[in-house]
A and B are shown apart, each in its own frame.
Chain A
């Protein structure tokens, strides 16, 4: 392990560490554009110049590996002078259209100009003009004039997505990013090029012009789109509610986790948050009663809804109660569902998974076929036996008229591999169908009682990913309307049934389940931290690729 000194601070780093990463470890930021820890070194932007002791001139830190005895200086007068020059050159042909640029506020040309530029402009000639606002794929817009040719996007498509759609065409100051003929930037990970673009050249077509980034709030979260559990940030707009068509969640961004997703996330996850602010959101408990031909639906208070459900649950024995939970429910909620339904009420007609209508796609990078975030958690909590027909058995019980109450959590039973007519006829036999979830669907439309639950961004909790890593997600926005976290609803019902459960917090539930379930032994919100931790019999994920810090 080479030992070196950077700006007077001694450090020891693994062999093969470059000077940007070695300095980062000491809290020293060496400005850079083209370098990205998840991509091959390009050495093109020339901004990361540092001085090496005895070297005749500054050298680029990205392509210089730490060596024993190296003495590095990142703030010498000539380094600062070189940075200022390189900033000036990056902006020679840049259009400086910040007022109409979506990147403004998170643009590294702006940030580094303020930190390392601040020169008096002297470029008075016409700038090179290039294509602007070119859609290069379903998710990404290209502005070639703003591009600084760092080639991060090209290297991403070449080495991470492996799809190779992008290249740099032409020469000199006419160089521009573009698509190879006959292609579009339409791969499963295309949105990542927007994240790694340090300037406003590649912007997100979904987010473009929706909100100024300085109005956004950020919360740490985990993508619920599949069992990988990519770490993400949820960006919300609650300060300018007239923007973004009133959407509160405006975008998701990957959050670095060396053991799960590194810097990346897939497009399906990135753009899969539409349900959160969709018109289908359920915002109040509702009771539907048949009045002649037409059902009548009326909103009710939580107290009435809970009392109604408690009464129905008590009306028959455990054999008359069926429940279909969901591998989308967090660990805390599944834990409370287990306590209430299995341990308190003795329900045996219970399942977690329903067969998906179409098999999930998967790849070798991040995407997992299981499109639920917590299937592994359901298994570890003993709710998911692995028997494929557990849910079919619940439906069968309904069809046979054995169930008085069927409580469905979040899933649309009419959107599964089962024939719709079979499901519909089975549900028709259930006297009291309860649907609990954040969004309406065809199952909720048939329910006698609808309980609105909070979307994942409206609450906190944990998911256990495909590799058995338990990861926290945080609340980004308040629940819509009267919606409550699933576990809060379960706790209310339990209280109505005479259990002395206090609502508490999700963290308390996790503490309980960690004490009770061996796989979670020793875990707590504190030990999970930002990046999660593996369950004791789970295999920790090992993400492909090498080391590196957050970007």
Chain B
């Protein structure tokens, strides 16, 4: 099943980065159509498309737009979350680098729909090349009258401000991103108020992911119903899956969200070298891990939720049978301990604590209660924090230990790994760098 590409339609066209190249593929026709439709009809079309946010939370896009108060004083802002930092996820990078005008067009459509005249794009600090390419495309769009006082010659004015992050994962959390954009430390904000009521610079704000916005031109050009038909009952369209790890052909794959994880792995060539699949993380590092016998699940938001994990950012990380799961959890725990912003207590303290436990287990100094301590601390922390960061960390903490408990117990009992007996007890050393 390889349907026609939607989001990746221009990924192989070298000229798509240029305005002329993008236009030659029908670019900015959707924007023209948007102006004809008007905001209400656009929102209805996006609702019909069953488009759900593709950054991680999977929230219905049209519903999110609908939270912007109808009567308001002052501006409303669109903020593009291009702080793609979820481990195992690199699909927004492809859009920024290979089809930047699709994003700009999507931004203009969204901005027009919510009545926004200034939008911000927050680009991950490490994404230097994507930033350069996007900025060049934006300059061309401005010169071409697509961004500015009269978009496409209309009365709709819009400007786009490019902001680069400085390398913090938490700034991909929408309110952390807003704090950082405002010039503050990238700490997530308390909710309520939600960004739609009081967001960037105190104004109503919609934060949308790159891929979500890039989905808008095809939806308007074809139809919401067409887009919805590509997916499942509760989520329309295709999405970009970042597949990495122990697969023959890692990379970005576009597929309808109704694809199963097994089908997706097959498209990526499966586990190479005759080795066996051991585990897959289906939606970025924050998603609970699936065992090899759990991959017959559809990759839509609800399908993966029902499987006890999440679609997240669609970063698919594949682990074969040479993987030491306690070591894998150590790597993940190190990431969350390093990236926790430290604002609220459960996340600040427990990400570090669990990382230390994992390190001790790997070093052969685990104690029998360690796995239960990890599980108990993680379970108690669920839903206790300001933002979803720690809930994201809990996904791997619990699932790795629960699903591969025997490996942890072996490390604790024998002080060594049973998966890779020859490996040193603690292949990874050092505390988190801060």
Instruction: Give the B-binding residues of A (Cβ under 8 A).
Output: 41-47, 49, 56-58, 63, 81-82, 85-86, 89-90, 92-93, 122-126, 128, 148-149, 167-168, 170-175
Name the contact of B342 in the complex, choosing from A42, A63, A123, A149 (C-beta under 8 A).
A149
Question: Is B349 an interface position by the 8 A CB rule?
Answer: yes
Report chain B residues within 8 Å CB of A43: 190, 344, 386
- Residues 313-357 of B, flagged 1 when their CB comes within 8 A of A and 0 if not, give 000000000000000000000000111111111101111110011
Q: Are the CB atoms of B353 and A125 closer together than 8 Å?
A: yes
Please indicate which of the listed interface residues A44, A47, A49, A126 has the most CB atoms of chain B within 10 Å of its own CB: A44
Q: Which chain A residue lies CB-closest to B170?
A: A171
Known: A44-B386, A81-B380, A82-B384. A172 touches B344 (CB 8 A): no
Q: Are the CB atoms of A128 and B345 closer together than 8 Å?
A: no
27 interchain pairs (CB within 8 A)? A41-B190, A43-B344, A44-B343, A44-B345, A44-B386, A47-B345, A58-B384, A81-B380, A85-B377, A86-B345, A90-B345, A92-B353, A122-B373, A125-B360, A149-B342, A149-B348, A168-B342, A170-B342, A170-B434, A171-B170, A172-B341, A172-B352, A173-B340, A173-B342, A173-B348, A174-B342, A174-B432
Known A43-B344, A93-B349, A172-B341; further 7 A-B contacts with Cβ < 8 A? A122-B369, A123-B353, A171-B341, A172-B348, A173-B351, A174-B342, A175-B342
Report chain A residues within 8 Å CB of B342: 149, 168, 170-175
Interchain CA distance A82-B379 in the complex, whole Å: 11
Instruction: Give the A-binding residues of B (Cβ under 8 A).
Output: 168, 170, 185, 190, 192, 337-346, 348-353, 356-357, 360, 367, 369, 373, 377, 380-386, 432, 434
Q: Are the CB atoms of B380 and A85 closer together than 8 Å?
A: yes
B111 to chain A minimum Cβ distance, whole angstroms, is: 31
Q: Are the CB atoms of A86 and B384 closer together than 8 Å?
A: yes
Q: Which chain B residue lies CB-closest to A60?
A: B190
Interchain CA distance A167-B185 in the complex, whole Å: 10
Q: Which applies to chain A's interface (DSSP): helix, strand, loop or mixed?
A: loop
Interchain CA distance A285-B434 in the complex, whole Å: 66
Interchain CA distance A185-B240 in the complex, whole Å: 51
Interchain CA distance A125-B366 in the complex, whole Å: 11
Interchain CA distance A43-B168 in the complex, whole Å: 21
Q: Which chain B residue lies CB-closest to A59?
A: B383
Please indicate which of the listed interface residues A46, A85, A172 has the most CB atoms of chain B within 10 Å of its own CB: A172
A34 to chain B minimum Cβ distance, whole angstroms, is: 9
Q: Are the CB atoms of B381 and A85 closer together than 8 Å?
A: yes
Interchain CA distance A487-B434 in the complex, whole Å: 64
Report chain B residues within 8 Å CB of A49: 384
10 closest cross-chain pairs (CB), A and B: A175-B342, A173-B352, A125-B356, A172-B340, A174-B434, A89-B349, A92-B349, A85-B380, A43-B190, A57-B383
Interchain CA distance A540-B355 in the complex, whole Å: 57
Name the contact of B380 in the complex, choosing from A82, A90, A171, A175 (C-beta under 8 A).
A82
A326 to chain B minimum Cβ distance, whole angstroms, is: 50
Q: Are the CB atoms of B386 and A149 closer together than 8 Å?
A: no
Please indicate which of the listed interface residues B168, B170, B353 has the most CB atoms of chain A within 10 Å of its own CB: B353
Q: Are the CB atoms of A124 and B353 closer together than 8 Å?
A: no
Q: Which chain A residue lies CB-closest to B360?
A: A125
Known: A44-B343, A81-B380, A172-B341. A126 touches B348 (CB 8 A): no
Q: Which chain B residue lies CB-closest to A92?
A: B349
Interchain CA distance A126-B373 in the complex, whole Å: 16
Name the contact of A46 in the complex, choosing from B185, B346, B351 (C-beta under 8 A).
B346
Q: Are the CB atoms of A90 and B344 closer together than 8 Å?
A: no
Q: Are the CB atoms of B434 and A172 closer together than 8 Å?
A: yes
Report chain A residues within 8 Å CB of B381: 85, 89
Interchain CA distance A170-B187 in the complex, whole Å: 12
Interchain CA distance A428-B274 in the complex, whole Å: 110
Report chain A residues within 8 Å CB of B434: 170-172, 174
A14 to chain B minimum Cβ distance, whole angstroms, is: 19
Interchain CA distance A122-B357 in the complex, whole Å: 11
Report chain A residues within 8 Å CB of B351: 172-173
Report chain B residues within 8 Å CB of A56: 383
Name the contact of B346 in the complex, choosing from A63, A86, A93, A128 (C-beta under 8 A).
A86
B333 to chain A minimum Cβ distance, whole angstroms, is: 12
Report chain A residues within 8 Å CB of B337: 172-173
Q: Which chain B residue lies CB-closest to A82?
A: B384
Interchain CA distance A46-B357 in the complex, whole Å: 23
Q: Are the CB atoms of A46 and B345 closer together than 8 Å?
A: yes
Interchain CA distance A171-B431 in the complex, whole Å: 13
B367 to chain A minimum Cβ distance, whole angstroms, is: 7
Name the contact of A171 in the complex, choosing from B168, B190, B360, B386 (C-beta under 8 A).
B168
Name the contact of A125 in the complex, choosing from B190, B340, B341, B357 (C-beta under 8 A).
B357
Report chain B residues within 8 Å CB of A57: 382-383
Q: Are the CB atoms of A172 and B339 closer together than 8 Å?
A: yes
Q: Are the CB atoms of A171 and B345 closer together than 8 Å?
A: no
Interchain CA distance A255-B91 in the complex, whole Å: 58
Q: Are the CB atoms of B353 and A45 closer together than 8 Å?
A: no
B389 to chain A minimum Cβ distance, whole angstroms, is: 10
Interchain CA distance A174-B190 in the complex, whole Å: 22
Q: Are the CB atoms of B190 and A63 closer together than 8 Å?
A: yes
B152 to chain A minimum Cβ distance, whole angstroms, is: 43
Q: Are the CB atoms of A172 and B386 closer together than 8 Å?
A: no
Please indicate which of the listed interface residues B190, B350, B369, B385 has the most CB atoms of chain A within 10 Å of its own CB: B190
Name the contact of B384 in the complex, choosing from A46, A90, A123, A175 (C-beta under 8 A).
A46
Interchain CA distance A182-B248 in the complex, whole Å: 55
Report chain B residues within 8 Å CB of A167: 185
Known: A123-B353, A173-B352. A44 touches B340 (CB 8 A): no
Interchain CA distance A199-B348 in the complex, whole Å: 18
Report chain B residues within 8 Å CB of A58: 384
Interchain CA distance A173-B336 in the complex, whole Å: 11
Interchain CA distance A148-B339 in the complex, whole Å: 18
A164 to chain B minimum Cβ distance, whole angstroms, is: 12
Please indicate which of the listed interface residues A122, A123, A168 has the most CB atoms of chain B within 10 Å of its own CB: A122
B362 to chain A minimum Cβ distance, whole angstroms, is: 13
Q: Which chain B residue lies CB-closest to A84?
A: B380
Interchain CA distance A82-B346 in the complex, whole Å: 11
Interchain CA distance A89-B350 in the complex, whole Å: 7
Interchain CA distance A46-B350 in the complex, whole Å: 13
Report chain A residues within 8 Å CB of B383: 56-57
B146 to chain A minimum Cβ distance, whole angstroms, is: 39
Q: Are the CB atoms of B352 and A93 closer together than 8 Å?
A: yes
Report chain A residues within 8 Å CB of B385: 46
Report chain B residues within 8 Å CB of A124: 367
Interchain CA distance A56-B384 in the complex, whole Å: 12
Interchain CA distance A196-B412 in the complex, whole Å: 44
Name the contact of A172 in the complex, choosing from B360, B367, B384, B432 (C-beta under 8 A).
B432
Report chain A residues within 8 Å CB of B382: 57
Q: Which chain A residue lies CB-closest to B382?
A: A57
Interchain CA distance A85-B369 in the complex, whole Å: 17
Interchain CA distance A149-B348 in the complex, whole Å: 10
Interchain CA distance A501-B351 in the complex, whole Å: 73
Interchain CA distance A179-B348 in the complex, whole Å: 21
Please indicate which of the listed interface residues B339, B350, B367, B384 has the most CB atoms of chain A within 10 Å of its own CB: B384
Q: Are the CB atoms of A149 and B345 closer together than 8 Å?
A: yes
Report chain B residues within 8 Å CB of A174: 342, 432, 434
Report chain A residues within 8 Å CB of B380: 81-82, 85
Interchain CA distance A93-B350 in the complex, whole Å: 10
Interchain CA distance A159-B340 in the complex, whole Å: 26
Report chain B residues within 8 Å CB of A81: 380
Interchain CA distance A174-B339 in the complex, whole Å: 11
Report chain A residues within 8 Å CB of B344: 43-46
Report chain A residues within 8 Å CB of B340: 171-173
Name the contact of B345 in the complex, choosing from A45, A63, A122 (C-beta under 8 A).
A45
Report chain A residues within 8 Å CB of B349: 89-90, 92-93, 173
Report chain B residues within 8 Å CB of A172: 337-342, 348, 351-352, 432, 434
B398 to chain A minimum Cβ distance, whole angstroms, is: 15
Name the contact of B356 in the complex, choosing from A45, A90, A126, A175 (C-beta under 8 A).
A126
